[in-house]
Structure 1
Amino acid sequence: MPMNLGMRPEIAALLEQVKGMIRDEIMPLEDEYHAEIAKGDRWTYTPRQAEILEGLKARARDRGLWNFWLTDSDKGLGLTTVEYAYFAEEMGKTPLGAEVFNCSAPDTGNMEVFERYGNAEMKERWLKPLLNGDIRSAYLMTEPDVASSDATNISMSCVRDGDDYVLNGEKYWSSGAGDPRCKVYIVMVKTGDEDTPKHQRHSMIVVPAGTDGIEVLRPMEVYGHDDAPHGHMHMRFTNVRVPASNILLGEGRGFEIAQGRLGPGRIHHCMRAIGQAEAALEQMCRRALDREAFGKPIAHLGANYDIIANCRMEIEMVRLLCLKTAWYMDQGDARAAAPWISQIKVMAPQVALKVIDEAVQMHGGTGISQDTPLAKMWTHVRTLRLADGPDAVHRRQVARAELKKHTQQKV
């Protein structure tokens, strides 16, 4: 089958609108928006912060630049995963981009779960306001006391008690749970015992934020930063009761739901990382031409030509790998797409980190300061090498798929 990695003309026109809005309306407000975080309570939105964000969202929504990520739904704009990948790259160039167009993680994955697996009540109570951008959500999977890269280790207890389930345990790196607009969690829990087949021991359950027994212990810091007001929270659940109807698909279906949720999300993360690499390369080139040392622009010093050239070539290679992966997703065979998803999950953050680091180096001391966005970009992308599975787990999957071609033995 021919592999089309391009866009239809009408989708390309939409992308040009998104590029223009990012360049002309979102980026000019970035610094003012982030300066507001230090004013007052870091875990609330100041009036000006809310005005900036909600104003941009309203403009995007009014222009129909909204929910691009809905690639397999009549509620979206009918983009393929390949087409959406180009949009994710552009949105990755600014920290506000994804939310302005209602394409933020973890909301996109959670909305997909609600649409595919949620009942009518969940869709009305949670999916509708999420699609409108009125609330935020969080996905709670990782736990502090187990190696969560092997999700069969997830241990939060979820026990049926009459018409309720009772949850006990801790979660951390609960991204978005610090946001005051976060109203609902989707939580990976253990419902089976040791006699249950390993991949049927876990379930996903919907828990309203603020339910009795939920305690936020602390925000986790990423290289010393707490990412307020979004946050990655460490949380404790003590006898948290939720209706039994809040279980998604029924007991033991957690892994099935997780794979459907995480596959597209990993592609989105990787394309946004490429967007950050592109933004870093642009800053690197401008610095190389504008800054002089030893009587000439620093572009002409040392190995800077080679550095810039290698960054461009590596970005192009990893973008093509991401688009090929997106094409496999569009064919509807998640199993066939899985090794490709693992490849980009390893390579996209590594290439983005290299480009950002080279841009930092080109800026000298300014590059690690608050005077450029490069330091924040680096810490964000470095986190991506752990989010949705660490590199080692994904390399293992790639190797197993490769070895399987050459042996009938289980690998």
Structure 2
Amino acid sequence: MRRTSWNGVTTIWVFLVAGTGAQAFFTVSSTRPHSLLSRAACDLNQNKDSLKQASFPSLQSLPGLGLLALNVLAPSLIPPSAQALPQKAPETNAQMLLIDALPKKNPVLLDMASSLAKVTTEGSGNIRSIDSKGSKGIKPWPEVQKAARSASGTIAGRGKELIKGATDEKAAQAVLTDLNVRIDQLGAAADAQNREAAVTAQVQALLRLEQLGTLQVPTMPFQPPTVEYPSVPQLLGRAEIEITTRAGKTRQTRQMYAILDGFSAPLSAGQFVDLAQRKAFDQTKIVATDESSVTITADAVKSPKRTVPLEILVEGDKEPTYGETLEEQGRFKERVVLPFNAYGTLAMLHPLDDPNGGANSFFFLKADPSYTPAGLNTLDGAFSVIGYVVQGEDALDDLLAGDVVENVRVLSGSELLKQGK
């Protein structure tokens, strides 16, 4: 059993091994005291075999629990009508999630990216996974060598297809050339069995593929709702940001880099970029941090007096929905384009009782994403994800309440910000 707390909500994670040998995780979330929630979770764990016959209404009506959500993550333990489960493990690689979220799909690029993302285990392409998991952070070296050879072959034989449709052919060709260098570095690292160099090369290669994919999106796939929300800025594309933090005691500075996705969340991402350009995050203290998340809040004096609506793009929809959670819409089983799958997922914070009350606070997800696959957690469809940390996410582990956000800089994409009225 494991407990996490965030923003007044406590979640208990319980691992079940039923009498049949079936395994599962279930989670219960509530605003009630930890002791009450833990006791209820223990009761459920002790009666795990009865979960086969249980339905969500009966589980959610446990006396005094006040459940906000309950997720059971095994098809053998609940009836099919209770929860739709994914047929494959969720993608947890931040770079791959951004590539998957591109509104224009290039099948050659997607296939190459998918192969490279599998170089690391559990889809986690970051140095943090190596530090915490040791040799388990990367696949066997023959598989890494095979992935590098396959990628090199794709560039040599299908390079034109990789950059087909780019809005700036010269820029795309330059990215393709750099991609080839990164693939060579991956192959060399695999030959030398250098784990850190291999993962670094993998991350850089995936970032180049994300750049190529972004260059192939000519315009916004939909018109953001300027009439309904005239004062909210819009990010009409993608932006890269650098976040520099400073430890309160040691004064050591660290950098994180994130890509914000205006294709999927133009208002929420636009709000973040606008606050960054106003230097509203600079020299602010980390508001809160625990094992699940890190919250940052822009200076209220430098922040415009406006609120941003909840903004969720569901897979298959042409544009985001606004103002209501997916649960309120009766769509809680549907997958979102930007899920809370990756360590370092960045999202807008809003009051629990007002999904349209987002303003100048954002949070980074630190919880292990393998516990909360897309479509099966209480965050997807309840908060607006704006992007992912793609480099330096290991710095999140070191942040404490009271540490300082030294500055937030927009490295690229600032020209894509459209100011509100």
Which structure: greater strand fraction?
2
TM-score (norm 2): 0.24
Which structure: greater helix fraction?
1
The structure with higher relative contact order (CA 8 Å, sep 6+) is 2
TM-score (norm 1): 0.24
